[in-house]
Structure 1
């Protein structure tokens, strides 16, 4: 069986990043980037554009892949692979009625103090950094959903289990 695939889209403007406080599980009450599952007929880029439009009302001019991370959790039979994007040019009006969460622009240098999933807190500085290449890592959680290991991956641009 293949891993579950997701996108997360980090919109930037004026040194701020758009995050969403989740109103439901998973990650209820935590701040995350807009995004969601990749449909079977979509590429990761297509899913990133669709998810951003659905969640926020914003239309990206281009999406830039900045990271690919794998999350392994004992309570889930399959790992999940997240394609992490950055968008700096977009059009549209920010939605005020989002069933998934509350959208807010946060100064980038204040995001470290926000409650967010442990893996997100680890990779967010790398994703938002203007230097460096594609960030790749595997995050391993224990049975209590605590992050216990981070393995950086430098060589393989495609996570194991992904078929092209």
Structure 2
């Protein structure tokens, strides 16, 4: 495949401290797996369509799912965005999303409240995203009913 993505040694060294420790059977090479995950996500592929050079597609999927649930990718993104220093320019974008009619009938339990409001147009959820000068997202969140929010 001609546009295969392979993470550089420098890039791998920056994120390797966030990988969980290996236990049990020897793992498939982390560099290949991370490169495969990035390739699948960047190209919008199904896991089954991942090139075999990255290792078994089931390994890519399992590692992505397990590490996502453990918060590994969130920690990596937080660390890398903090390393860049404060951006010189902030951009804020917001949008209103039409909520599906069953959203209000879901259970209200959980750690975070549901931010669903009622307007003339029906049930809506308003979201803000703040980005740096290159347009990379720094944070996002719903706004409250008063129209202000904090990231």
Larger Cα Rg: Structure 1 or Structure 2?
A: 2
**Structure with more of its chain in helix, by fraction:** 2
- Which structure has more strand as a fraction of its residues? 1
TM-score calculated relative to the size of structure 2: 0.23
TM-score normalized by the length of structure 1: 0.22
Higher relative contact order (CA closer than 8 Å, sequence separation 6+) = 1
